[in-house]
Amino acid sequence: MRIEKPAASSEGPPNLADYEQARAAFSWEAVRRELDGLPNGGGLNIAYEAVGRHVQSGHGGQTAMIWLGKKGEREEITYAELDGLTNQLANVLANLGVEAGDRVYSLAGRIPELYVCALGALKHRAIFCPLFSAFGPEPIAQRMQLGEAKVLLTTERLYRRRVMEIRDRIPSLEHVIIVPDPKKPRSPENTIDWNNAMAGASPDYRIASTNPATPALLHFTSGTTGTPKGALHVHEAVLTHYVTGKLALDLHPEDIYWCTADPGWVTGTSYGIIAPLTNRATMVVDEAEFDSQRWYRILEEERVQVWYTAPTAIRMLMRSGPELPRSRNLSALRFMASVGEPLNPQAVVWGYEVFGRPFHDNWWQTETGGIMISNYASMDVKPGSMGKPLPGITAAIVREGNDGHIHRVDDPKKDGELALRPDWPSLFRGYWNNQDRYDACFRDGWYLSGDLARRDEEGYYWFVGRSDDVIKSAGHLIGPFEVESVIMGHPAVAEVGVIGKPDPVAGTIIKAFVSLQPGHQWSGELEKELLGFGRKNLGTAAPREIAFAESLPKTRSGKIMRRLLKARELGLPEGDTSTLEGENG
């Protein structure tokens, strides 16, 4: 099945109007020329490209951020105001003795101060490292110890509940900046009050010369069993953030844009801060957690034009039914995209049926720093596919040959590991203090993603599964995503997680865990129906066992944690669960 690209819009053509032409004409140097660079040949700084250059070009009065508080507050911050606030924060850091390369951490919900901290730290050439606000004390301590944090921005509530008890275990941590509770402002001892610090700081700041290879961002990814990995990115990554926002998300200047991701994970920084601002969009930031009615109200009232969200959220919206969106005026929506894990075909089609346009899935990783493969506004969408590589990105399906080297797989019927030529600006430059782990990601001139995929005859890429998730049953290699997508086609099923379970005859059988749509109850009869549905549609790849789950374990970025399902099923160690949704609260 495919959803054909829309007819020409009255709003004008998309930024990427012809895919093949764009690939042929693309160069990273041309992208660099679209950005300003620091004045007087001072290099390339993410925060300047995101904010300062727009003020210098006369757009300081445009709204940069629409902040929506969980209690109904609404605040607009212009580019000029954001420039001044981030200058103040940079001066605060300078006054504290923070130097280029020092690590500035944040632990806060989606409040304006978090965004000011990110950009202010980048202006000062510190390395910004965001943490999930829902992390418990141990994951916080672990990540701050690994990255040798010097400064932490947090709120009074989070400091008292999560940080006070571990602060002595982080000897590198010299300063804690507290955003006080507006109703009960009282900063704890040995902390710095945000309001006082900002009030005493100048709104003028000159960004020092910034080499494009200057470290900028440190994002921690969850380890399977060991410690989390800290992926380090540099200021040159802004080229990828900017151009993927323009081409993959079709961002235009002054677009109203909403990325629902939290800056505690990489999407919320790359596409919740940098990509929209470098494209001079107006970004919507919602402090509250997911609520379907609230989300539809925001889409309508803020006239959101480009919406970037996660498969888990889309499936939750599907469960709430089509009546809510159809009762709202969502005519401003021009482009919808999804990220976090592969988007099931049913969700793509549902978007088209309910909103009149599909969700455009894309693929990337913390390590790639930005979108690498995407469904574009000017292309037909094949539901279930992650699309085609971005201009400037060389992707391939590879396997190890008998000679021990990596070789391309050109047969569209065969899958292999998704690999990229490591020559784009936002490629991570290392795992923090772990060179061996970093080096293992590269072989024979390729970055190996660890994801299995296939490439069809038209050049679309299809996700099969993580290499450590793929199931070998009765001699067949089976990707869990394909099985999950088929089982989700049953009207009773809301979400599915699939694992391989040891079996004395087949070696491994497929077991599926399902949560149900509203109005359906689990029963032996439904279990048999689902098993039969699987056999009819999947044959030998069908689940041999199906179990009911009230909810599936997911990361806060929306990925179903299959390894956790397997560990719990088999009684194995669960490994690192610090990013698990609902944990550490």
d(Cα 92, Cα 536) in Å, to the nearest integer?
64
The average pLDDT across 163-177 equals 96
Boundary residue ending a domain (402, 422, 455): 455
| 104 sits in which H/E element | strand 103-107
Query: Which of 431, 455, 479 is the endpoint of a domain?
Result: 455
**Among 99-108, 193-202, 549-558, where is mean pLDDT lowest?**
549-558
Q: Cα–Cα distance between 553 and 575 in angstroms, integer? A: 13
In a domain, 8, yes or no: no
Q: How far apart are CA 540 and CA 530, in angstroms?
A: 15
- Same domain? For 530 and 554 the reply is yes
* Tokens read off for 12: 């004008």
* 269 and 308 belong to one structural domain: yes
Average pLDDT, stretch 65-84?
97
Range 574-581 average pLDDT? 63
Q: How confident is the model at residue 18 (pLDDT cuts 50, 70, 90)?
A: very high
For residues 132 and 238, membership in a common domain is answered with yes
**Beta-strand (E) ranges in 222-350?**
229-234, 256-259, 282-286, 306-309, 335-338
How far apart (Å, rounded) are the C-alpha atoms in residues 388 and 462?
9
Chain centroid to CA 438: how far? Answer: 21
Residue 460 inside a domain? The answer is no
Same domain, 404 and 327: yes
88 or 481, which is more confident? 88
* Burial of residue 486, with CB atoms counted within 10 A of its CB: 0-12 exposed, 13-18 middle, 19 or more buried: buried
- Looking at the structure, tell me whether residues 431 and 501 fall in a common domain: no
Residue type at 79?
A: Y
pLDDT of residue 240: 98
Q: 475 and 451 in one domain?
A: no
Q: Whose structure tokens read 């924060």?
A: 89
Q: What is the DSSP letter of 50?
A: I
Tell me the pLDDT tens digit for each residue of 466-505: 766 667 665 455 767 778 888 988 999 999 998 888 877 6
Q: Do 439 and 346 have their domain in common? A: yes
Report the range of poorest mean pLDDT among 214-223, 322-331, 446-455: 214-223
Other C-beta atoms lying within 10 Å of the C-beta of residue 545 = 15
Task: Check whether 516 has a pLDDT greater than 50.
Answer: yes
Asked if residue 389 and residue 490 are part of one domain, the reply reads no
* 397, part of any domain: yes
Model confidence band, residue 532 (pLDDT cutoffs 50, 70, 90) = very high
Query: Does one domain contain both 183 and 101?
Result: yes
Do residues 402 and 504 share a domain?
Answer: no
Number of domains in the chain: 2
pLDDT over 90 (residue 41): yes
Q: CATH number, domain at 502?
A: 3.30.300.30
Question: Has residue 223 got a pLDDT over 60?
Answer: no
- Residue 584 resides in a domain: no
- Residue 444 banded pLDDT, cuts 50, 70, 90: very high
The answer to whether residue 461 is domain-embedded is no
Average pLDDT over every residue of 570-582: 67
Q: Which domain-ending residue is among 422, 455, 488?
A: 455
User: Which is more confidently placed, 18 or 228?
Assistant: 18
Pair 356, 437 in one domain: yes
pLDDT reported for residue 9: 59
2 assigned to some structural domain = no
From CA 567, how far away is CA 141, in angstroms rounded? 25
pLDDT in tens, 107-116: 999 999 999 9
Span 337-354, pLDDT tens digits: 998 878 889 899 999 999
| Residue 5 included in any domain | no
| CATH code assigned at 90 | 3.40.50.12780
Q: Give me the domain span that covers residue 306.
A: 19-455
- Asked which of 200-209, 312-321, 330-339 is least confident by mean pLDDT, the reply is 312-321
For position 561, what pLDDT does the model report?
Answer: 83
- Whether 485 and 346 have beta carbons less than 8 Å apart is answered as yes
Residue 13 lies in a domain: no
* Per-residue pLDDT, 447: 98
Mean pLDDT (the chain) is 91
**Is residue 201 domain-shared with residue 316, that is, in the same domain?**
yes
pLDDT band, very low/low/confident/very high, at 584 (cuts 50, 70, 90): very low
Cα–Cα–Cα angle for 391, 394, 400, nearest 5°? 160
